[in-house]
Amino acid sequence: MSLFSKNSDSLPVFWIKYLDAFAKEKKEKSFFKKTADSKGLQNTRFVVFDTETTGLDYKKDRILSLGGVAVVANQVIVADTLELFLKQDFYNPDSAQIHGILKQGNYLKVNEEEAIAQCLDFIGTDILVGHHVGFDVAVVNQSLKRAGLGRLKNRHLDTEILYKRLVHPANRSLQDKRYTLDELAEALKTPLHDRHTAAGDSLITALVFIKIVHKLNSDGEMKLKHLFK
Amino acid sequence: MQNTIATRIYDFLKQFPPFQFMASDDLFKISTLANVLYLDKDQILFSRDELYSDRFYIVQQGAIKLTRPSGNKTKVVDICDEGDLFGLKVTSENTYRTTATANEETIIYTIPVEAFSAFAKANKAISNYLIASFASNIKDPYTLQQNGSLLNTYEPDRNQDLLGLQQANYSKNVVSCDPSATVQEAAQLMQSSRIGSLVVTSNELPVGILTNRELRNAIASGTDTTSTLTKDIMIHPVVCAPGDITVGQAQLMLIKYGVNHLVITKDGTDRSAIIGILSKHDIVVSFGNSPAELIKEIKRAEKTKLLRMSWEKATVILTNYLDQGLPLSHILNIFSELKGALIYRTMELSLAKMSEPPPVPFTWLALGSQGREEQLLYTDQDNAIIYENVPAEKEEATKAYFLRLANRMNKRLHKVGYDYCPADMMGSNPLYCLTISEWKEKFKGWIYDPSPESMLLSGIFFDYRRTFGSQQLVDELTAHIYSLLGDSSIFYRFMAKDALKNPPPVSFFRNFLVESDGAHKDEFDIKNRAMSPLIGAARVLSLYHGLKNVNRTSTRYEQLAMLEPENRELYESCAYAFKALLKFRVQQGLKNGDSGRFIQLESLSKSDRLKLKRCFKPLRDVQEVLRVRFQTQNLS
């Protein structure tokens, strides 16, 4: 964390809560070392999330919308969902045609700090899942940085990397191939709709994630830690 | 807050009853409470006698099979597909009456009962619908006749036995007359009894048959008059059969004796009491679902769903054939025809959906076990496309066309019942949708530059068979392969080595070797340890001998037996062993409802274990032949 971090009095409440949750979890983990490991896949809340941004440069571009949905025990929990559209002054006309969020789009919009607060509250200390999730984490970290806060502390899983573990050895030459979300969805026979809305992409990613985990866990014995192997 | 996912669920639900009767605000509220659940094929959602969950279910994609035990078998009560609602508690029972299993990969929306019932009670249309659908949902074999089904759209026809092996139905209501009765008396008797045939009896024993046809011929031809005696125009001698005759046997007798009726007697001869009469018509009725009929049905099917029904019927036929102990080669022949017709029709339907006809001739190939015609149940799709070479400027468009076609084909076959190939060896994979020249190059690579990896592919791709399209392309490819093979001894060595790589079935002390870990610990892997090595050996030996268009493992061994008289006995026993193993596996698979690949040895009787072990000797011997002939030891 930055040497110049603000003293804790001036930090926003949501950030303190976010850090506290991790501290608490760490404490519990060291206390119940064994039980924490065996918590198992079935009881873990994964947050599948996706951002739509003004472009692909995580330093320069801004978040236009942010969507997430919880996955617990092979199920997408629709009630446990987050979908935000952000007010941004920065606007990149090149990417609007992909996701169709116009600067003056007809959505209820929140400012960036409010979005970050809601997002952190939603994800808590849970594991983030996304397709090329590194990018989404990076843009959220940029927002946090602009707000003078630290980086995301959540562990995260990339569906592309997980999917590659399923590729049959006979097709080993495909290991270096890059997969788009559309390709994964197609390969895993997941219906595509609402592509390029953050929440729609989260649903597709969630189904893709559930299918991949199910296939990796064919013997039913997989532990959470195996996902991070 | 905007909720795109809930909106998506709302859009789906509103297409189907009872949700379409709901106000949109209410339905949206329910949609926000839904969960999306994924089930893999054969995964169980809930079991009979389990307590009702606080949620009920709607199939979004895929299908759910509801079953209940009946005797020691499982009966399919219903198959729910897209938009069907199930698992909702309607009566006062506290536990599920059926077990719900995913019939294929399935996505389900689950909805809290409490939230829904508040709306359901207030809305007459919804409660009416639920009562009606519940009434149709409880149908079981006993109430199948009440066909007011609202929810289910297809179901296997379970009431009819599907082959000629069940006992024939015959009429027990026999009307008889005396040989000395006049034709007029006989006709009056037939009219008053409203029947079309009489058994003519003397001393209670059958002596002849009189039907409408004889009467018509006698009178119409003018040679006889109404006072002619029955005995002069009746058909005699009568053909008799016992009461336990099967439909198949009965049909054979009708053909053999050229008659339309059989008289059923106590001991099956004309010297015992009559118990019934069986007409050709009875046979036609009970034959409604024979393989021949099934093929007709497949050829006429206009929808994938109908093809799927045929597939389910085929599985029933298979079970019965095995129960009856029919020879396996006969079963394989019938199934090869059935599945061939199924794939052919699927391709016709797929082609009809394309916006234009294929730009150049092409062939749809079945690969692997399908190519060898050895697939009997629980099958993956392994397939590929060959199309004619096209000028460079048309390459891209042509390939795109065939990929689109293959995609449709793979999806349809999946709907019909073929699983997707886990290794993606399917026509829709750009690697396996190629021009004839590209295929030739591919095989050239495998033959000239073999490696353990390429052997994984060779094992599948060298067993190809045309299921649709041009035979010429296949012949061209085969000729090409054999012209390459002639001078590539290294390829045979790799292939032989590959056939030897599987772990042995029994230990030095003749004990079965079982899996030492994993999900199938302590079970015997009949595929890996016994069948694959026999298949592999047959393949390399028939390539070595240049055998063309023979893919079936048992047939390969039979042909090898003729080509190598010195090894005739060995190859014949290999053919026999392979058939026995395949039958064994299919029986195990049907018994356990899986692929039959892993066998729990404790579940086998001693004699079955011995039978199984007897199959291993030829396996050991033929592997020795490979080792010596292809010098596999020297291959690193």
What per-residue confidence (pLDDT) applies to B161?
37
What per-residue confidence (pLDDT) applies to A173?
64
What per-residue confidence (pLDDT) applies to B338?
85
pLDDT at residue B572 tops 80: yes
Chain A residues with CB under 8 Å of a chain B CB are: 67, 69, 74-79, 81, 83, 85, 107-108, 168-172, 187, 189, 191, 193-194, 197, 199-200, 202-203, 206-207, 210-211, 214-215, 218-220
Question: Are A159 and A130 spatial neighbours (Cβ–Cβ below 8 Å)?
Answer: yes
Angle at alpha carbon of residue A168, lines to A165 and A171, rounded to 5°: 115
- Region for B165 from its dihedrals, namely left if φ exceeds 0, alpha if ψ lies in -120 to 50, beta otherwise: alpha
What per-residue confidence (pLDDT) applies to A157?
94
pLDDT at residue B217 tops 60: yes
pLDDT at residue B387 tops 90: yes
pLDDT above 90 covers a percentage of chain A that reads 31
CA dist., res. A207 & res. A191, Å (int): 9
Pick the residue of B1, B35, B412, B446 with the most A CBs within 10 A to test the interface with A by mutation: B35
What per-residue confidence (pLDDT) applies to B142?
29
CA dist., res. B370 & res. B540, Å (int): 18
For B49-76, what is the mean pLDDT?
84
Chain B residues inside the 8 Å CB shell of A199: 2-5
Inter-residue long-range contacts of B425-431, CB under 8 Å, 24+ positions, other chains counted: B425/A170, B425/B367, B425/B368, B425/B382, B425/B383, B425/B384, B425/B457, B425/B460, B425/B461, B426/B381, B426/B382, B426/B383, B426/B384, B427/B364, B427/B383, B427/B384, B427/B385, B427/B402, B428/B403, B430/B399, B430/B403, B431/A171
Higher pLDDT, B299 or B253: B299
Closest-CA distance of chain B to residue A9, Å: 31
For B431-460, what is the mean pLDDT?
88
| Cβ-Cβ contacts under 8 Å for A114 (sequence gap 6 or more) | none
Q: Please indicate whether, in this complex, the C-beta atoms of B31 and A78 are within 8 angstroms of each other.
A: yes
A74 band by pLDDT with thresholds 50, 70 and 90 = confident
For B558-566, what is the mean pLDDT?
92
| Cβ-Cβ contacts under 8 Å for B263 (sequence gap 6 or more) | B199, B206, B209, B238, B239, B240, B241, B270, B274, B276, B277, B278
For B437-455, what is the mean pLDDT?
88
Query: Closest residue of B to A192, CA-based?
Result: B8
What per-residue confidence (pLDDT) applies to B531?
92
Question: Are B386 and B369 spatial neighbours (Cβ–Cβ below 8 Å)?
Answer: no
Point out the residue among B37, B414, B424 whose CB comes nearest to the CB of A75.
B37
For the stretch B126-140, pLDDT in tens is 766 665 555 444 333
For the stretch B482-492, pLDDT in tens is 888 876 778 88
Residue among A56, A135, A138 at smallest CA distance from A94: A56
What per-residue confidence (pLDDT) applies to B164?
47
Point out the residue among A78, A193, A210 whose CB comes nearest to the CB of B32.
A78
For the stretch B222-259, pLDDT in tens is 766 777 888 888 888 888 888 888 776 777 677 767 78
For the stretch A163-208, pLDDT in tens is 888 876 666 666 677 888 888 888 887 776 655 666 678 888 999 9
What per-residue confidence (pLDDT) applies to B501?
84
For the stretch A55-66, pLDDT in tens is 888 888 889 888
Pick the residue of A76, A164, A168 with the most B CBs within 10 A to test the interface with B by mutation: A76
For B308-331, what is the mean pLDDT?
75
pLDDT at residue B144 tops 70: no
For residue B111, the 8-state DSSP code is E
Taking CA atoms, B514 is separated from B498, B521, B525, in Å, by 21, 7, 7
ipTM entry: 0.80
B3 band by pLDDT with thresholds 50, 70 and 90 = confident
Q: Please indicate whether, in this complex, the C-beta atoms of B38 and A210 are within 8 angstroms of each other.
A: yes
pLDDT at residue B380 tops 60: yes
B509 band by pLDDT with thresholds 50, 70 and 90 = low
Q: Please indicate whether, in this complex, the C-beta atoms of B8 and A194 are within 8 angstroms of each other.
A: yes
For the stretch B72-120, pLDDT in tens is 777 777 777 788 888 887 666 788 888 999 988 888 999 998 888 887 7
A228 band by pLDDT with thresholds 50, 70 and 90 = confident
What per-residue confidence (pLDDT) applies to B155?
31
Q: Please indicate whether, in this complex, the C-beta atoms of B4 and A191 are within 8 angstroms of each other.
A: no
Maximum distance among all Cα pairs of chain B, rounded to whole angstroms: 95
Q: For residue B593, give the amino acid letter.
A: G
Interface subset of B 99-128, CB within 8 angstroms of A = 105, 107, 110
pLDDT at residue B479 tops 80: yes
CA dist., res. B211 & res. B196, Å (int): 6
Residue among B461, B466, B373, B451 at smallest CA distance from B421: B461
Tokens of B509: 């002390």
Give whichever of A211-220, B394-403, B408-417 has the largest mean pLDDT: B394-403
For residue B422, the 8-state DSSP code is T
Query: Closest residue of A to B429, CA-based?
Result: A187
What per-residue confidence (pLDDT) applies to A195?
59
Chain A residues inside the 8 Å CB shell of B36: 75-76, 78, 203, 206-207
pLDDT at residue B163 tops 60: no
What per-residue confidence (pLDDT) applies to B154?
29
Point out the residue among A168, A187, A218 whose CB comes nearest to the CB of B423.
A168
Mean pLDDT lowest for which of B117-131, B265-279, B476-490, B536-550? Answer: B117-131
Chain A residues inside the 8 Å CB shell of B457: 170
Point out the residue among B3, B423, B518 whose CB comes nearest to the CB of A81.
B3
What per-residue confidence (pLDDT) applies to B511?
67
pLDDT above 70 covers a percentage of chain A that reads 77
Which residue's structure tokens are 């092979």? Answer: A74
Residue among A72, A127, A167 at smallest CA distance from B38: A72
pLDDT at residue B189 tops 70: yes
All domains of chain B in start order, with CATH? 4-137 (2.60.120.10), 176-287 (3.10.580.10), 348-634 (no CATH)
Higher pLDDT, B310 or A146: A146
What architecture (CATH level 2) is domain A8-227?
2-Layer Sandwich (3.30)
Q: Would an 8 Å CB–CB cutoff place B4 in contact with chain A? A: yes
C-alpha dihedral over B442, B443, B447, B451, to 10 degrees? 50
- Region for B263 from its dihedrals, namely left if φ exceeds 0, alpha if ψ lies in -120 to 50, beta otherwise: beta
Question: Are A125 and A90 spatial neighbours (Cβ–Cβ below 8 Å)?
Answer: no
Q: Please indicate whether, in this complex, the C-beta atoms of A78 and B61 are within 8 angstroms of each other.
A: no
B385 band by pLDDT with thresholds 50, 70 and 90 = very high
Nearest 5°: phi and psi at B30? -65, -40
For residue B529, the 8-state DSSP code is I
For B563-591, what is the mean pLDDT?
88
Residue among B429, B335, B441, B319 at smallest CA distance from B385: B429
What per-residue confidence (pLDDT) applies to B143?
30
Mean pLDDT lowest for which of A38-52, B132-146, B420-434, B552-566? Answer: B132-146
Give whichever of B363-367, B549-553, B601-605 has the largest mean pLDDT: B363-367
Within a 10 A sphere around the Cβ of B451, how many other Cβ atoms?
12
Nearest 5°: phi and psi at B312? -65, -40
> Between chain A and chain B, how many beta carbons pairs sit less than 8 Å apart?
88
For B20-47, what is the mean pLDDT?
89
Within a 10 A sphere around the Cβ of B450, how many other Cβ atoms?
21
Closest-CA distance of chain B to residue A202, Å: 9
pLDDT at residue B49 tops 60: yes
- For the stretch B256-266, what's the b/e string if a residue is b when 16 or more beta carbons lie within 10 angstroms of its beta carbon? eeebbbbbbbe
What per-residue confidence (pLDDT) applies to A102?
53
Tokens of A91: 């606007």
